[in-house]
Structure 1
Amino acid sequence: MQVSEGPVLVLQPASGLHFPAVEALREAFLTRALEASPPRCAVLECTHICSIDYTVVLGLEELVGDFHRHGVSLAFVGLQVPVLRVLLSTDLKGVQYFSTLEEAEKYLRQEPGTQPYNVSEDSVPEHKIALLKA
C-alpha cells in the first residue's frame, strides 16, 4: 500500500481490495488520519481496485462512518466502473468520489463554510455516467 502524507492523507492499495485486506486498510486510515491531532481528511485512491465484495462494502461503510464521527471526510478517487456500480447500488451513505486526486484534494482542503465541490455532476466523466446507467 502506498501512503502519501500531507494535509490530506492518500492511501493507494497496490492491488485489489478483498477480505481481509479491508481490515488492514481500515486500520491504516484509523491510525494515520483519525488518530492524528487534529483528525484529517483522507483519500482512497482506487485505480488498482477492479472489483469489491460484500465484506469490502461493509468495511468501507464502517470507515466512512468513522470519518463522519470524527468530523472529517473520506473521498474515493479513480473508481473503476464495476466498483462504482457496486458502491452506488449499496446505498452507502456519505460516499464522495472524484475522477482525479486533484479534484478530491480541492474539495477536502476547502475552508469551512465554502460551497462544496459538486461531486454529483463533475466527479464522473460523461462516458462513465452512460456506463453506470446501462
Structure 2
Amino acid sequence: MSQAFAGRRVLVVEDESLVAMLLETILEDMGCVPVGPAATVDEGLQMANDGEPIDAALLDVNVAGRQVFPIAEALRARGVPFVFSTGYGEGGLPDEWRGLPTLQKPFTEAAVRDALMKAMGMADV
C-alpha cells in the first residue's frame, strides 16, 4: 500500500460490474477509498456534484452507451483530477480530451496507480 494514496477518495464511473469491482479492489489495495461505483452518467454526475469530497476519479469513457464527458466537465469545474479508461486508448478520445491521463483496457494495478499519480500531479512514490 502506498502512503501517497492513503485515504484518497476516488470516484469510480464504470458500467461493467466486474471491471468496477476490480477497480474498487485495486483502489483499496492502494489505500484509497472508492466512491461509487456509478454505473450511469446521471449517477456519476450526481456523485460529482453532490459536494462530497473527491480527490480523483476513474471514468469509463462509454458508460451504458453514453459518453462520460459531462462528468469530466463537472469534475474539471471542481478542480478534481481524473483518468479516462477506454478500450480504445487515448486515440479514441475527442481532440479536446486528448493529452489527459488515459488507461487502456484491460489495465493492471500498476497502470491504474501510474495514471492516478499522473492525474494528481504526484511524483513517483
TM-score by length of 1: 0.46
**Larger proportion of strand:** 2
Max Rg structure: 1
